[in-house]
Amino acid sequence: MSFAELAAFAGRHPQLSIALAVITVALIGVEIALRLSGIRRIGPSVLVGLMNRDNALVVDLRTPVEFEKGHIAGAKNVQLSQFDPENKQLAPVKSLPVVLVCQSGQTAQTAAARLRKAGFTQVSVLDGGVQAWRGADMPLVKGR
């Protein structure tokens, strides 16, 4: 498609063109905000490296029922409603890598922002959550 054809299409469909421009700007804005937040989005292989090399704390924010059906080995289950980054027991791990996991990665992003605000320095989110972990053929542990 040439630029002239693209311009002609935009002239014939101004509402679609404006909607596309708005969506594009919004997506770019979200990506910039994520990059400036200090929260890394990592894949399953990077998470395995952090767990093996740096003794990362993996926090699974899903419900206990979802957690028991299958979770990453060594993960701690904390429901978002009980998630308190100001908890005194978490103070010793403020400098350790903390990786938050949920079903798809969206809930974990919110919790990660709370951790950063509370002074945690190495906060990551498993991009795509447990769905991405399964998609990478990584093992899940059943039970508590």
Cβ neighbour number for residue 123 with a 10 Å cutoff:
23
What's the Rg (C-alpha) of the chain?
A: 19
> Could you tell me the residue ranges of all domains in the chain?
3-34, 39-135
Q: Which of 39, 58, 102, 126 is flagged as catalytic? A: 102
Going through the chain in order, the beta strands assigned E by DSSP cover 40-42, 57-60, 76-77, 98-101, 123-126
Both tokens of residue 75? 């993960």
CATH superfamily, with its number, for domain 39-135: Rhodanese-like domain (3.40.250.10)
Winning range, highest mean pLDDT, from 10-14, 33-37, 62-66: 62-66
**Residue 62: closest CA among 111, 98, 97:** 111
**105 noted as active-site residue:** no
Helix, strand, coil percentages for the chain (3-state, nearest 5): 55, 15, 35
The residue-averaged pLDDT of 54-75 equals: 93
Q: Tens of pLDDT along 71-129?
A: 999 999 988 787 787 777 677 788 889 999 998 878 898 889 888 888 888 899 999 99
